[in-house]
Structure 1
Amino acid sequence: MIQDTTVYNQKIERVIDNINKVMIGKEEAATLSLVALLANGHVLLEDVPGVGKTMLVRALAKSLDCDFRRIQFTPDLLPSDVTGVSIYNPKTLEFEFRSGPILGNIVLADEINRTSPKTQSALLEGMEESNVTVDGNTIKLKKPFFVMATQNPIEYEGTYPLPEAQLDRFILKMKMGYPSAEQEMQMLERTSQNHPIESLSAVMDKDALVALQEEVKNVYIDQNVRQYIIKLVNGTRHDRSIYLGVSPRGSIALMKAAKAYAFIHGRDYVLPDDVKYLAPFILAHRIILNAEAMYDGLTSDLVIQTIVKDTHIPIRKEFDS
Protein backbone atom coordinates (compact mmCIF):
# COMPACT_ATOMS: atom_id res chain seq x y z
CA MET A 1 0.00 0.00 0.00
CA ILE A 2 1.00 3.62 -0.51
CA GLN A 3 2.49 5.17 2.61
CA ASP A 4 1.72 8.89 2.26
CA THR A 5 -0.74 9.94 -0.44
CA THR A 6 -0.77 13.55 0.80
CA VAL A 7 2.89 14.15 -0.06
CA TYR A 8 2.51 12.56 -3.50
CA ASN A 9 -0.69 14.51 -4.15
CA GLN A 10 1.08 17.78 -3.38
CA LYS A 11 3.82 16.96 -5.86
CA ILE A 12 1.30 16.22 -8.59
CA GLU A 13 -0.68 19.37 -7.84
CA ARG A 14 2.48 21.42 -8.28
CA VAL A 15 3.04 19.89 -11.71
CA ILE A 16 -0.54 20.58 -12.83
CA ASP A 17 -0.38 24.15 -11.47
CA ASN A 18 2.87 24.67 -13.33
CA ILE A 19 1.36 23.49 -16.62
CA ASN A 20 -1.64 25.77 -16.05
CA LYS A 21 0.73 28.75 -16.04
CA VAL A 22 1.18 28.08 -19.74
CA MET A 23 -2.06 26.33 -20.72
CA ILE A 24 -5.25 28.22 -19.92
CA GLY A 25 -8.41 26.21 -19.39
CA LYS A 26 -6.74 22.88 -20.18
CA GLU A 27 -6.76 21.30 -16.72
CA GLU A 28 -8.39 18.14 -18.02
CA ALA A 29 -5.80 17.73 -20.76
CA ALA A 30 -2.98 18.26 -18.24
CA THR A 31 -4.51 15.73 -15.84
CA LEU A 32 -5.06 13.11 -18.54
CA SER A 33 -1.48 13.56 -19.75
CA LEU A 34 -0.25 12.85 -16.24
CA VAL A 35 -2.58 9.85 -16.01
CA ALA A 36 -0.92 8.35 -19.08
CA LEU A 37 2.57 9.26 -17.89
CA LEU A 38 2.12 7.77 -14.41
CA ALA A 39 0.57 4.64 -15.92
CA ASN A 40 3.61 4.20 -18.20
CA GLY A 41 1.42 4.76 -21.25
CA HIS A 42 1.36 7.12 -24.21
CA VAL A 43 -1.12 9.67 -25.55
CA LEU A 44 -2.62 10.32 -28.97
CA LEU A 45 -3.76 13.92 -29.20
CA GLU A 46 -6.07 14.61 -32.12
CA ASP A 47 -7.16 18.18 -32.70
CA VAL A 48 -7.07 21.11 -35.09
CA PRO A 49 -3.83 23.10 -35.52
CA GLY A 50 -3.01 25.90 -33.12
CA VAL A 51 -4.83 24.83 -29.96
CA GLY A 52 -1.65 24.19 -27.96
CA LYS A 53 -0.82 20.52 -28.50
CA THR A 54 2.92 21.14 -28.74
CA MET A 55 2.88 23.64 -25.89
CA LEU A 56 1.24 21.11 -23.58
CA VAL A 57 4.03 18.59 -24.13
CA ARG A 58 6.75 21.22 -23.71
CA ALA A 59 5.19 22.49 -20.47
CA LEU A 60 4.97 18.94 -19.14
CA ALA A 61 8.62 18.24 -19.99
CA LYS A 62 9.88 21.47 -18.42
CA SER A 63 7.79 20.92 -15.28
CA LEU A 64 9.37 17.50 -14.80
CA ASP A 65 12.92 18.48 -15.80
CA CYS A 66 12.85 15.82 -18.51
CA ASP A 67 14.76 15.62 -21.78
CA PHE A 68 12.28 16.84 -24.40
CA ARG A 69 12.60 15.71 -28.02
CA ARG A 70 10.41 16.55 -30.98
CA ILE A 71 9.97 14.51 -34.15
CA GLN A 72 8.29 16.32 -37.02
CA PHE A 73 6.85 13.48 -39.07
CA THR A 74 6.97 13.97 -42.84
CA PRO A 75 6.47 11.57 -45.78
CA ASP A 76 10.25 11.31 -46.37
CA LEU A 77 11.17 10.57 -42.74
CA LEU A 78 13.16 7.35 -42.31
CA PRO A 79 13.14 4.93 -39.35
CA SER A 80 16.78 5.86 -38.65
CA ASP A 81 15.69 9.49 -38.27
CA VAL A 82 13.65 8.31 -35.29
CA THR A 83 15.83 5.65 -33.69
CA GLY A 84 19.32 6.86 -34.61
CA VAL A 85 22.07 5.52 -36.86
CA SER A 86 25.51 3.94 -36.61
CA ILE A 87 28.23 6.01 -38.32
CA TYR A 88 31.73 4.79 -39.13
CA ASN A 89 34.48 6.78 -37.42
CA PRO A 90 37.70 6.59 -39.48
CA LYS A 91 39.78 7.72 -36.49
CA THR A 92 38.73 4.91 -34.18
CA LEU A 93 37.99 2.46 -37.03
CA GLU A 94 34.71 1.66 -35.31
CA PHE A 95 31.04 2.39 -35.77
CA GLU A 96 29.56 4.95 -33.37
CA PHE A 97 25.89 5.15 -32.56
CA ARG A 98 24.27 8.56 -32.95
CA SER A 99 21.04 8.46 -30.99
CA GLY A 100 17.78 9.64 -32.51
CA PRO A 101 15.08 11.73 -30.84
CA ILE A 102 13.28 8.67 -29.52
CA LEU A 103 16.02 8.35 -26.89
CA GLY A 104 14.61 11.29 -24.94
CA ASN A 105 12.35 11.20 -21.90
CA ILE A 106 9.32 13.00 -23.29
CA VAL A 107 8.92 12.74 -27.05
CA LEU A 108 6.51 14.74 -29.18
CA ALA A 109 5.61 12.84 -32.33
CA ASP A 110 4.11 15.70 -34.31
CA GLU A 111 1.66 14.80 -37.10
CA ILE A 112 2.40 11.11 -36.77
CA ASN A 113 -0.01 10.17 -39.56
CA ARG A 114 2.07 12.07 -42.14
CA THR A 115 4.86 9.50 -42.28
CA SER A 116 5.03 6.03 -43.78
CA PRO A 117 3.98 2.89 -41.87
CA LYS A 118 7.63 1.74 -41.86
CA THR A 119 8.68 4.83 -39.90
CA GLN A 120 5.62 4.62 -37.68
CA SER A 121 6.63 1.07 -36.75
CA ALA A 122 10.02 2.32 -35.51
CA LEU A 123 8.20 4.49 -33.00
CA LEU A 124 5.81 1.65 -32.21
CA GLU A 125 8.63 -0.65 -31.10
CA GLY A 126 9.89 1.92 -28.65
CA MET A 127 6.41 2.56 -27.25
CA GLU A 128 5.63 -1.11 -26.75
CA GLU A 129 9.00 -2.63 -25.85
CA SER A 130 10.82 0.36 -24.27
CA ASN A 131 13.75 -0.31 -26.56
CA VAL A 132 14.73 0.12 -30.20
CA THR A 133 16.72 -2.06 -32.58
CA VAL A 134 19.49 -0.46 -34.66
CA ASP A 135 21.73 -2.59 -36.89
CA GLY A 136 20.73 -5.69 -34.97
CA ASN A 137 21.57 -4.16 -31.58
CA THR A 138 18.88 -3.58 -28.98
CA ILE A 139 19.12 -0.22 -27.22
CA LYS A 140 17.18 0.38 -24.02
CA LEU A 141 15.24 3.63 -23.84
CA LYS A 142 15.52 6.07 -20.97
CA LYS A 143 13.25 6.14 -17.94
CA PRO A 144 10.83 7.77 -17.84
CA PHE A 145 9.78 7.41 -21.48
CA PHE A 146 6.60 9.06 -22.69
CA VAL A 147 5.30 9.70 -26.20
CA MET A 148 2.61 12.19 -27.04
CA ALA A 149 1.65 11.89 -30.70
CA THR A 150 -0.47 14.49 -32.49
CA GLN A 151 -2.51 14.38 -35.63
CA ASN A 152 -4.85 16.85 -37.32
CA PRO A 153 -8.34 15.45 -37.98
CA ILE A 154 -9.12 17.74 -40.92
CA GLU A 155 -6.17 16.95 -43.19
CA TYR A 156 -6.25 13.69 -45.11
CA GLU A 157 -4.15 14.28 -48.23
CA GLY A 158 -0.71 12.74 -48.00
CA THR A 159 -1.44 10.96 -44.73
CA TYR A 160 -1.09 7.37 -43.59
CA PRO A 161 -3.86 6.56 -41.09
CA LEU A 162 -2.59 4.73 -38.03
CA PRO A 163 -3.45 1.02 -38.15
CA GLU A 164 -5.54 -0.48 -35.37
CA ALA A 165 -2.49 -2.28 -33.93
CA GLN A 166 -0.71 1.03 -33.43
CA LEU A 167 -3.75 2.89 -32.12
CA ASP A 168 -4.04 0.18 -29.49
CA ARG A 169 -0.57 1.09 -28.18
CA PHE A 170 -1.79 4.49 -27.00
CA ILE A 171 -3.26 4.21 -23.53
CA LEU A 172 -5.63 7.08 -24.24
CA LYS A 173 -6.76 9.43 -26.98
CA MET A 174 -7.99 12.93 -26.26
CA LYS A 175 -8.85 16.28 -27.77
CA MET A 176 -8.18 19.76 -26.42
CA GLY A 177 -10.79 21.85 -28.21
CA TYR A 178 -10.97 25.59 -28.74
CA PRO A 179 -10.70 27.93 -25.74
CA SER A 180 -13.60 30.10 -24.64
CA ALA A 181 -13.57 33.81 -25.47
CA GLU A 182 -12.53 34.62 -21.90
CA GLN A 183 -9.71 32.07 -21.96
CA GLU A 184 -8.49 33.33 -25.31
CA MET A 185 -8.41 36.88 -23.92
CA GLN A 186 -6.19 35.63 -21.07
CA MET A 187 -3.90 34.03 -23.65
CA LEU A 188 -3.49 37.34 -25.45
CA GLU A 189 -2.62 39.06 -22.19
CA ARG A 190 -0.08 36.42 -21.16
CA THR A 191 1.68 36.30 -24.52
CA SER A 192 1.65 40.02 -25.32
CA GLN A 193 5.37 40.25 -24.46
CA ASN A 194 7.07 36.95 -23.59
CA HIS A 195 5.56 33.49 -23.71
CA PRO A 196 5.20 31.98 -20.21
CA ILE A 197 6.85 28.74 -21.37
CA GLU A 198 10.19 30.56 -21.46
CA SER A 199 10.15 31.26 -17.70
CA LEU A 200 8.71 27.91 -16.65
CA SER A 201 10.88 26.02 -14.16
CA ALA A 202 10.88 22.40 -13.04
CA VAL A 203 8.88 21.40 -9.96
CA MET A 204 9.82 17.70 -10.01
CA ASP A 205 12.83 15.74 -11.23
CA LYS A 206 13.00 12.53 -13.24
CA ASP A 207 13.86 10.32 -10.27
CA ALA A 208 10.80 11.54 -8.38
CA LEU A 209 8.63 10.85 -11.42
CA VAL A 210 9.91 7.29 -11.75
CA ALA A 211 9.21 6.80 -8.03
CA LEU A 212 5.63 8.00 -8.54
CA GLN A 213 5.19 5.56 -11.42
CA GLU A 214 6.19 2.74 -9.08
CA GLU A 215 3.80 3.95 -6.38
CA VAL A 216 0.89 3.98 -8.83
CA LYS A 217 1.27 0.22 -9.21
CA ASN A 218 0.43 -0.13 -5.51
CA VAL A 219 -2.97 1.55 -5.81
CA TYR A 220 -5.64 -0.93 -4.74
CA ILE A 221 -8.37 -1.96 -7.17
CA ASP A 222 -11.18 -4.09 -5.81
CA GLN A 223 -12.52 -7.19 -7.54
CA ASN A 224 -15.89 -5.61 -8.29
CA VAL A 225 -14.16 -2.65 -9.96
CA ARG A 226 -12.12 -5.04 -12.08
CA GLN A 227 -15.35 -6.83 -12.95
CA TYR A 228 -16.81 -3.47 -13.98
CA ILE A 229 -13.88 -2.98 -16.37
CA ILE A 230 -14.48 -6.42 -17.86
CA LYS A 231 -18.18 -5.70 -18.31
CA LEU A 232 -17.44 -2.48 -20.18
CA VAL A 233 -14.92 -4.16 -22.46
CA ASN A 234 -17.22 -7.13 -23.11
CA GLY A 235 -19.94 -4.63 -23.97
CA THR A 236 -17.85 -3.43 -26.91
CA ARG A 237 -17.52 -6.99 -28.19
CA HIS A 238 -21.28 -7.58 -28.34
CA ASP A 239 -22.61 -4.18 -29.38
CA ARG A 240 -24.43 -4.22 -32.70
CA SER A 241 -22.77 -0.98 -33.81
CA ILE A 242 -19.24 -2.29 -33.36
CA TYR A 243 -17.40 -4.40 -35.91
CA LEU A 244 -14.25 -4.87 -33.79
CA GLY A 245 -14.36 -4.61 -30.00
CA VAL A 246 -11.72 -3.77 -27.42
CA SER A 247 -8.89 -6.26 -26.94
CA PRO A 248 -7.58 -7.47 -23.54
CA ARG A 249 -4.88 -4.81 -23.87
CA GLY A 250 -7.68 -2.27 -23.52
CA SER A 251 -8.81 -3.84 -20.23
CA ILE A 252 -5.29 -3.59 -18.87
CA ALA A 253 -4.96 -0.01 -20.08
CA LEU A 254 -8.21 1.01 -18.38
CA MET A 255 -7.11 -0.59 -15.11
CA LYS A 256 -3.70 1.10 -15.18
CA ALA A 257 -5.19 4.48 -16.08
CA ALA A 258 -7.78 4.19 -13.30
CA LYS A 259 -5.01 3.53 -10.79
CA ALA A 260 -3.09 6.58 -11.98
CA TYR A 261 -6.24 8.74 -11.92
CA ALA A 262 -7.02 7.68 -8.35
CA PHE A 263 -3.41 8.38 -7.35
CA ILE A 264 -3.52 11.87 -8.84
CA HIS A 265 -6.59 12.58 -6.73
CA GLY A 266 -4.86 11.51 -3.55
CA ARG A 267 -6.41 8.07 -3.14
CA ASP A 268 -4.74 4.69 -2.76
CA TYR A 269 -7.81 2.88 -4.12
CA VAL A 270 -9.82 3.01 -7.36
CA LEU A 271 -13.47 4.03 -7.45
CA PRO A 272 -15.94 2.85 -10.11
CA ASP A 273 -16.39 6.51 -11.03
CA ASP A 274 -12.70 6.64 -12.00
CA VAL A 275 -13.29 3.86 -14.52
CA LYS A 276 -16.54 5.44 -15.71
CA TYR A 277 -14.86 8.80 -16.38
CA LEU A 278 -11.82 7.35 -18.16
CA ALA A 279 -13.61 4.74 -20.29
CA PRO A 280 -14.30 7.02 -23.32
CA PHE A 281 -10.67 8.20 -23.41
CA ILE A 282 -9.28 4.67 -23.10
CA LEU A 283 -11.71 2.61 -25.17
CA ALA A 284 -13.10 4.79 -27.99
CA HIS A 285 -10.01 4.62 -30.22
CA ARG A 286 -9.78 0.85 -29.79
CA ILE A 287 -13.07 -0.01 -31.53
CA ILE A 288 -14.13 -0.06 -35.17
CA LEU A 289 -17.73 0.77 -36.00
CA ASN A 290 -19.59 -1.15 -38.67
CA ALA A 291 -20.81 0.48 -41.88
CA GLU A 292 -24.40 0.80 -40.69
CA ALA A 293 -23.37 2.68 -37.54
CA MET A 294 -21.19 5.08 -39.51
CA TYR A 295 -23.99 5.63 -42.01
CA ASP A 296 -26.26 6.56 -39.09
CA GLY A 297 -23.74 9.19 -38.01
CA LEU A 298 -22.55 7.42 -34.87
CA THR A 299 -19.05 7.99 -33.54
CA SER A 300 -16.84 5.80 -31.39
CA ASP A 301 -17.16 8.26 -28.51
CA LEU A 302 -20.96 8.17 -28.60
CA VAL A 303 -21.06 4.38 -28.73
CA ILE A 304 -18.69 4.04 -25.75
CA GLN A 305 -20.68 6.61 -23.77
CA THR A 306 -23.84 4.59 -24.42
CA ILE A 307 -22.16 1.38 -23.28
CA VAL A 308 -20.94 3.09 -20.11
CA LYS A 309 -24.43 4.43 -19.43
CA ASP A 310 -26.04 1.01 -19.91
CA THR A 311 -23.47 -0.97 -17.89
CA HIS A 312 -24.21 -1.15 -14.19
CA ILE A 313 -21.53 -1.51 -11.57
CA PRO A 314 -21.44 -5.12 -10.31
CA ILE A 315 -21.62 -5.89 -6.63
CA ARG A 316 -19.39 -8.40 -4.90
CA LYS A 317 -21.92 -11.25 -4.73
CA GLU A 318 -22.47 -10.98 -8.49
CA PHE A 319 -18.74 -11.46 -9.01
CA ASP A 320 -18.62 -14.42 -6.64
CA SER A 321 -21.48 -16.17 -8.38
Structure 2
Amino acid sequence: MSDTQPTIEALLAAGVHFGHQTRRWNPKMRRFIFAERNGIHIIDLQKTLRQLEVAQKLVRDVVLRGDSVLFVCTKAQVAGIVKQEADRCGAMYITERWLGGLLTNFQTVKKQLRRMKELEAGSAEGGEWENYTKKERLMMTREKDKLSKYLSGIRSLTRTPGLMFVVDAKKEKIAVAEANKLGIPIISIVDTNADPDLITVPIAGNDDAIRSVELITKAIAETIAEARREAPVREESDDVAEGAMTYSSERGTEAAGDRGDERRRRRPRRRRAKPEAIAAHLKGAEGEGEPGEAAPDATDE
Protein backbone atom coordinates (compact mmCIF):
# COMPACT_ATOMS: atom_id res chain seq x y z
CA MET A 1 0.00 0.00 0.00
CA SER A 2 2.92 2.32 0.74
CA ASP A 3 4.09 2.20 -2.89
CA THR A 4 0.78 3.65 -4.08
CA GLN A 5 0.56 6.28 -1.33
CA PRO A 6 1.63 9.81 -2.36
CA THR A 7 3.58 11.96 0.07
CA ILE A 8 2.46 15.23 1.60
CA GLU A 9 5.12 16.99 -0.46
CA ALA A 10 3.59 15.56 -3.64
CA LEU A 11 0.11 16.66 -2.55
CA LEU A 12 1.43 20.12 -1.78
CA ALA A 13 3.19 20.41 -5.14
CA ALA A 14 0.02 19.34 -6.97
CA GLY A 15 -2.06 22.02 -5.24
CA VAL A 16 -4.37 19.57 -3.49
CA HIS A 17 -4.56 21.91 -0.48
CA PHE A 18 -6.28 24.77 -2.33
CA GLY A 19 -10.00 24.92 -1.61
CA HIS A 20 -12.73 27.25 -2.86
CA GLN A 21 -13.42 30.81 -1.80
CA THR A 22 -14.55 31.12 1.78
CA ARG A 23 -17.95 32.50 0.76
CA ARG A 24 -18.66 29.32 -1.23
CA TRP A 25 -17.78 26.82 1.47
CA ASN A 26 -19.93 24.09 2.98
CA PRO A 27 -19.86 24.20 6.80
CA LYS A 28 -19.78 20.39 6.91
CA MET A 29 -16.25 20.56 5.48
CA ARG A 30 -15.03 22.41 8.56
CA ARG A 31 -13.20 19.37 9.94
CA PHE A 32 -11.04 19.11 6.79
CA ILE A 33 -10.05 22.80 6.64
CA PHE A 34 -6.68 23.84 8.06
CA ALA A 35 -6.77 27.62 7.67
CA GLU A 36 -7.90 30.57 5.55
CA ARG A 37 -5.55 32.49 3.28
CA ASN A 38 -6.53 35.49 1.13
CA GLY A 39 -10.20 34.53 1.08
CA ILE A 40 -9.49 30.88 0.17
CA HIS A 41 -9.76 27.86 2.45
CA ILE A 42 -6.64 25.73 2.88
CA ILE A 43 -7.26 21.99 3.23
CA ASP A 44 -5.49 19.94 5.90
CA LEU A 45 -3.30 17.56 3.88
CA GLN A 46 -2.67 15.31 6.89
CA LYS A 47 -6.37 14.44 6.93
CA THR A 48 -6.40 14.13 3.13
CA LEU A 49 -3.59 11.60 3.29
CA ARG A 50 -5.34 9.70 6.06
CA GLN A 51 -8.60 9.53 4.11
CA LEU A 52 -6.76 8.45 0.97
CA GLU A 53 -5.26 5.55 2.89
CA VAL A 54 -8.73 4.48 4.07
CA ALA A 55 -10.02 4.76 0.50
CA GLN A 56 -7.19 2.60 -0.85
CA LYS A 57 -7.95 -0.09 1.72
CA LEU A 58 -11.62 -0.08 0.69
CA VAL A 59 -10.66 -0.29 -3.01
CA ARG A 60 -8.37 -3.22 -2.31
CA ASP A 61 -11.08 -5.12 -0.42
CA VAL A 62 -13.63 -4.56 -3.19
CA VAL A 63 -11.28 -5.72 -5.97
CA LEU A 64 -10.13 -8.81 -4.06
CA ARG A 65 -13.79 -9.63 -3.46
CA GLY A 66 -14.29 -9.77 -7.22
CA ASP A 67 -16.43 -6.65 -7.65
CA SER A 68 -15.84 -3.89 -10.19
CA VAL A 69 -14.96 -0.23 -9.61
CA LEU A 70 -16.66 2.56 -11.56
CA PHE A 71 -14.86 5.88 -12.17
CA VAL A 72 -17.17 8.87 -12.68
CA CYS A 73 -15.95 12.25 -13.96
CA THR A 74 -17.80 14.45 -16.45
CA LYS A 75 -15.56 17.50 -16.04
CA ALA A 76 -14.12 18.29 -19.44
CA GLN A 77 -10.70 19.43 -18.20
CA VAL A 78 -9.95 16.23 -16.23
CA ALA A 79 -12.17 13.62 -17.91
CA GLY A 80 -9.33 12.48 -20.16
CA ILE A 81 -7.06 11.80 -17.18
CA VAL A 82 -9.73 9.77 -15.40
CA LYS A 83 -10.42 7.74 -18.54
CA GLN A 84 -6.72 7.05 -19.03
CA GLU A 85 -6.23 5.84 -15.45
CA ALA A 86 -9.39 3.70 -15.59
CA ASP A 87 -8.17 2.02 -18.79
CA ARG A 88 -4.76 1.42 -17.23
CA CYS A 89 -6.13 -0.41 -14.19
CA GLY A 90 -9.04 -2.14 -15.95
CA ALA A 91 -11.84 -0.21 -14.23
CA MET A 92 -15.16 0.96 -15.69
CA TYR A 93 -15.64 4.66 -16.35
CA ILE A 94 -18.22 7.31 -17.21
CA THR A 95 -16.64 10.48 -18.61
CA GLU A 96 -19.56 11.78 -20.68
CA ARG A 97 -22.98 12.77 -19.39
CA TRP A 98 -24.32 10.58 -16.60
CA LEU A 99 -27.46 8.90 -17.89
CA GLY A 100 -30.21 9.10 -15.29
CA GLY A 101 -31.08 5.67 -13.94
CA LEU A 102 -27.76 4.13 -14.97
CA LEU A 103 -27.63 2.33 -11.60
CA THR A 104 -31.21 2.42 -10.34
CA ASN A 105 -32.60 1.25 -13.71
CA PHE A 106 -29.74 -1.09 -14.56
CA GLN A 107 -31.89 -3.64 -16.42
CA THR A 108 -32.63 -1.04 -19.10
CA VAL A 109 -28.94 -0.15 -19.29
CA LYS A 110 -28.12 -3.82 -19.84
CA LYS A 111 -30.49 -3.86 -22.82
CA GLN A 112 -28.77 -0.78 -24.24
CA LEU A 113 -25.37 -2.43 -23.80
CA ARG A 114 -26.64 -5.51 -25.61
CA ARG A 115 -27.99 -3.34 -28.42
CA MET A 116 -24.66 -1.50 -28.71
CA LYS A 117 -22.75 -4.77 -29.05
CA GLU A 118 -25.21 -6.01 -31.69
CA LEU A 119 -24.74 -2.84 -33.72
CA GLU A 120 -20.96 -3.08 -33.43
CA ALA A 121 -21.03 -6.69 -34.60
CA GLY A 122 -23.32 -5.82 -37.51
CA SER A 123 -21.16 -2.93 -38.67
CA ALA A 124 -18.05 -5.11 -38.83
CA GLU A 125 -16.83 -6.38 -42.18
CA GLY A 126 -19.07 -9.20 -43.34
CA GLY A 127 -21.76 -8.26 -40.82
CA GLU A 128 -25.52 -8.10 -41.26
CA TRP A 129 -25.47 -4.43 -42.31
CA GLU A 130 -24.66 -5.41 -45.88
CA ASN A 131 -28.28 -6.55 -46.26
CA TYR A 132 -29.70 -3.11 -45.35
CA THR A 133 -30.20 -0.01 -47.46
CA LYS A 134 -27.90 2.99 -47.26
CA LYS A 135 -30.42 5.00 -45.23
CA GLU A 136 -30.94 2.18 -42.73
CA ARG A 137 -27.19 1.78 -42.30
CA LEU A 138 -26.86 5.52 -41.67
CA MET A 139 -29.54 5.43 -38.96
CA MET A 140 -27.95 2.42 -37.26
CA THR A 141 -24.53 4.08 -37.41
CA ARG A 142 -25.88 7.12 -35.61
CA GLU A 143 -27.50 4.91 -32.97
CA LYS A 144 -24.26 2.98 -32.48
CA ASP A 145 -22.19 6.15 -32.13
CA LYS A 146 -24.58 7.60 -29.58
CA LEU A 147 -24.60 4.45 -27.45
CA SER A 148 -20.82 4.12 -27.68
CA LYS A 149 -20.34 7.73 -26.60
CA TYR A 150 -22.11 7.21 -23.28
CA LEU A 151 -21.71 3.48 -22.60
CA SER A 152 -18.36 2.42 -24.08
CA GLY A 153 -16.69 2.77 -20.68
CA ILE A 154 -19.04 0.23 -19.08
CA ARG A 155 -19.40 -2.24 -21.98
CA SER A 156 -18.32 -5.19 -19.81
CA LEU A 157 -20.48 -4.25 -16.83
CA THR A 158 -22.87 -7.12 -16.09
CA ARG A 159 -24.04 -6.03 -12.64
CA THR A 160 -23.95 -2.92 -10.51
CA PRO A 161 -20.42 -1.99 -9.41
CA GLY A 162 -19.11 -2.76 -5.95
CA LEU A 163 -17.57 0.71 -5.57
CA MET A 164 -17.77 4.11 -7.23
CA PHE A 165 -14.94 6.66 -7.42
CA VAL A 166 -16.14 10.21 -8.13
CA VAL A 167 -13.96 13.23 -8.88
CA ASP A 168 -16.43 16.03 -8.05
CA ALA A 169 -19.17 14.97 -5.64
CA LYS A 170 -21.15 18.18 -6.12
CA LYS A 171 -21.17 18.03 -9.92
CA GLU A 172 -21.97 14.30 -9.98
CA LYS A 173 -24.84 14.61 -7.50
CA ILE A 174 -27.16 12.34 -9.55
CA ALA A 175 -24.59 9.55 -9.64
CA VAL A 176 -23.97 9.97 -5.91
CA ALA A 177 -27.70 9.87 -5.15
CA GLU A 178 -28.20 6.66 -7.18
CA ALA A 179 -25.24 4.95 -5.52
CA ASN A 180 -26.47 5.90 -2.06
CA LYS A 181 -29.94 4.61 -2.89
CA LEU A 182 -28.50 1.21 -3.82
CA GLY A 183 -26.03 1.12 -0.94
CA ILE A 184 -22.95 1.27 -3.19
CA PRO A 185 -19.95 2.73 -1.31
CA ILE A 186 -18.53 5.96 -2.75
CA ILE A 187 -15.01 7.38 -2.72
CA SER A 188 -14.84 10.97 -3.88
CA ILE A 189 -12.53 13.96 -4.10
CA VAL A 190 -14.48 16.48 -2.02
CA ASP A 191 -13.72 20.19 -2.28
CA THR A 192 -14.64 22.74 0.38
CA ASN A 193 -17.97 23.52 -1.34
CA ALA A 194 -19.33 19.92 -1.23
CA ASP A 195 -21.18 17.83 1.34
CA PRO A 196 -18.90 15.08 2.73
CA ASP A 197 -21.77 13.35 4.55
CA LEU A 198 -23.04 11.94 1.23
CA ILE A 199 -19.74 10.14 0.61
CA THR A 200 -18.58 6.90 2.23
CA VAL A 201 -14.90 7.92 2.17
CA PRO A 202 -14.47 11.63 1.35
CA ILE A 203 -10.97 12.69 0.25
CA ALA A 204 -10.67 16.42 0.89
CA GLY A 205 -8.83 18.05 -1.99
CA ASN A 206 -8.85 20.36 -4.98
CA ASP A 207 -11.19 18.82 -7.58
CA ASP A 208 -10.52 21.49 -10.23
CA ALA A 209 -6.73 21.41 -10.67
CA ILE A 210 -5.52 18.87 -13.22
CA ARG A 211 -2.44 17.82 -11.25
CA SER A 212 -4.46 17.37 -8.07
CA VAL A 213 -7.05 15.13 -9.73
CA GLU A 214 -4.34 13.21 -11.57
CA LEU A 215 -2.38 12.48 -8.39
CA ILE A 216 -5.34 11.17 -6.39
CA THR A 217 -6.86 9.25 -9.31
CA LYS A 218 -3.51 7.65 -10.07
CA ALA A 219 -3.19 6.50 -6.44
CA ILE A 220 -6.61 4.83 -6.62
CA ALA A 221 -5.85 3.26 -10.02
CA GLU A 222 -2.52 1.84 -8.84
CA THR A 223 -4.26 0.28 -5.86
CA ILE A 224 -6.75 -1.41 -8.20
CA ALA A 225 -3.96 -2.68 -10.45
CA GLU A 226 -2.00 -4.00 -7.47
CA ALA A 227 -5.06 -5.80 -6.08
CA ARG A 228 -5.80 -7.34 -9.49
CA ARG A 229 -2.29 -8.79 -9.62
CA GLU A 230 -2.81 -10.40 -6.23
CA ALA A 231 -6.26 -11.79 -7.06
CA PRO A 232 -5.00 -14.95 -8.93
CA VAL A 233 -2.78 -15.85 -5.95
CA ARG A 234 -5.79 -15.59 -3.68
CA GLU A 235 -7.84 -17.87 -5.97
CA GLU A 236 -5.10 -20.54 -5.92
CA SER A 237 -4.99 -20.46 -2.13
CA ASP A 238 -8.76 -20.94 -2.08
CA ASP A 239 -8.38 -24.06 -4.25
CA VAL A 240 -5.81 -25.49 -1.84
CA ALA A 241 -8.14 -24.87 1.07
CA GLU A 242 -10.99 -26.82 -0.51
CA GLY A 243 -9.81 -30.01 1.20
CA ALA A 244 -9.83 -28.38 4.61
CA MET A 245 -12.03 -29.84 7.31
CA THR A 246 -15.02 -28.00 8.73
CA TYR A 247 -16.72 -28.72 12.03
CA SER A 248 -20.40 -28.82 12.91
CA SER A 249 -22.02 -29.49 16.28
CA GLU A 250 -24.64 -31.71 14.66
CA ARG A 251 -22.74 -33.69 12.04
CA GLY A 252 -19.18 -33.67 13.37
CA THR A 253 -16.26 -33.33 10.99
CA GLU A 254 -16.73 -33.30 7.24
CA ALA A 255 -14.77 -32.25 4.19
CA ALA A 256 -15.79 -28.92 2.71
CA GLY A 257 -15.63 -30.31 -0.81
CA ASP A 258 -17.81 -33.31 0.08
CA ARG A 259 -20.42 -31.02 1.60
CA GLY A 260 -20.57 -28.99 -1.62
CA ASP A 261 -20.94 -32.16 -3.70
CA GLU A 262 -23.76 -33.31 -1.44
CA ARG A 263 -25.66 -30.10 -2.08
CA ARG A 264 -25.30 -30.51 -5.82
CA ARG A 265 -26.33 -34.18 -5.74
CA ARG A 266 -30.03 -34.60 -6.47
CA ARG A 267 -32.29 -37.45 -5.57
CA PRO A 268 -33.36 -39.38 -8.70
CA ARG A 269 -36.98 -38.86 -9.67
CA ARG A 270 -39.34 -41.83 -9.55
CA ARG A 271 -41.18 -42.19 -12.79
CA ARG A 272 -44.87 -42.90 -12.37
CA ALA A 273 -46.27 -45.49 -14.76
CA LYS A 274 -49.11 -44.41 -17.02
CA PRO A 275 -52.53 -46.14 -16.60
CA GLU A 276 -52.49 -47.23 -20.26
CA ALA A 277 -49.15 -48.97 -19.79
CA ILE A 278 -50.39 -50.78 -16.65
CA ALA A 279 -53.53 -52.03 -18.44
CA ALA A 280 -51.51 -53.24 -21.42
CA HIS A 281 -49.10 -55.06 -19.13
CA LEU A 282 -51.91 -56.86 -17.27
CA LYS A 283 -53.63 -57.82 -20.50
CA GLY A 284 -50.40 -59.29 -21.84
CA ALA A 285 -49.89 -61.29 -18.66
CA GLU A 286 -53.37 -62.84 -18.91
CA GLY A 287 -52.78 -63.79 -22.55
CA GLU A 288 -49.59 -65.73 -21.73
CA GLY A 289 -51.53 -68.53 -19.92
CA GLU A 290 -52.57 -71.66 -21.96
CA PRO A 291 -56.21 -71.93 -23.14
CA GLY A 292 -58.44 -73.70 -20.67
CA GLU A 293 -55.99 -73.22 -17.78
CA ALA A 294 -57.85 -71.75 -14.84
CA ALA A 295 -56.46 -69.15 -12.57
CA PRO A 296 -55.31 -70.34 -9.13
CA ASP A 297 -58.09 -68.43 -7.37
CA ALA A 298 -60.73 -70.13 -9.54
CA THR A 299 -59.53 -73.69 -8.72
CA ASP A 300 -59.40 -72.95 -5.02
CA GLU A 301 -62.99 -71.90 -5.10
Flag whether TM exceeds 0.5 (same fold): no
Bigger helix fraction:
2
Provide TM-score, normalisation by structure 2: 0.32
